[in-house]
């Protein structure tokens, strides 16, 4: 064992100092090179700390797929969550104003003006959302408002429009009646909490 350690130490010395340093040491008997030592088996031996080396391997295919799924979902939540917050605030404001409008004609005019306002403000941005992002947005709207998109449309635009848009959503793989579930949508909730923490830290700073 001791012989093995001597060989390892010799190799380290050759590697770190180089042949030139050893030659100089051999020529000059008075030269000294300070080294840390450690007691091993009753003897002092040089101790040299080598830098850490990180070794990476390719992720297994299942982890690659999971990372891609998570990244896609995280991006979708980051894009759509602000729209869900805005939708919740708008719906709250609209419902409050409609409650003070007993006249059906006035309610219709107000909704039409609000719809035009929202289209002008968000129309192009919402049209750029992918089908996948749209599905995530519907989940988040339900999270923020307590109502699914079908019921919101039905309440504001009538049952015919709600059924019409539900049919359109069905053909692109969506469902206006989809609701937010804390168990099923745990990943979305984790990402939402991440966003909330990020904004609270920036607000504090």
pLDDT of residue 13: 46
Q: Report pTM.
A: 0.65
Contact 47, 35 (CB under 8 A): yes
pLDDT of residue 75: 96
User: 48: Cβ–Cβ under 8 A, 6 or more apart, which residues?
Assistant: 12, 16, 35, 36
Per-block average pLDDT, block size 10, for the chain (205 residues)? 50 46 48 73 81 79 88 95 90 85 83 81 77 92 91 85 84 87 94 88 61
DSSP string spanning 45-63?
EEE-PPPP-----PPPHHH
């Amino acid at each position: 064992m001791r012989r093995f350690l001597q060989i390892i130490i010799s190799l380290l010395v050759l590697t770190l100092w180089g042949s030139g340093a050893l030659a100089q040491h051999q020529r000059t008997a008075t030269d000294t090179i300070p080294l840390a030592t450690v007691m091993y088996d009753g003897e002092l031996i040089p101790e040299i700390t080598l830098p850490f080396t990180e070794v990476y391997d390719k992720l297994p295919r299942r982890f690659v797929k999971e990372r891609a799924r998570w990244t896609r979902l995280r991006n979708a939540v980051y894009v759509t969550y602000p729209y869900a917050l805005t939708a919740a605030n708008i719906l709250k404001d609209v419902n409050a104003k409609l409650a003070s409008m007993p006249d059906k004609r006035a309610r219709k005019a107000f909704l039409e003006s609000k719809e035009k306002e929202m289209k002008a403000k968000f129309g192009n941005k919402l049209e750029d959302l992918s089908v996948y992002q749209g599905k995530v947005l519907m989940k988040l709207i339900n999270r923020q408002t307590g109502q699914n998109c079908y019921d919101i449309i039905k309440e504001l635009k009538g049952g015919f429009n709600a059924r019409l848009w539900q049919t359109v959503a069905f053909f692109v793989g969506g469902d206006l009646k989809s609701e937010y579930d804390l168990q099923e949508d745990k990943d979305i909730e984790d990402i939402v909490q991440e966003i909330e923490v990020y904004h609270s830290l920036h607000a504090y700073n």
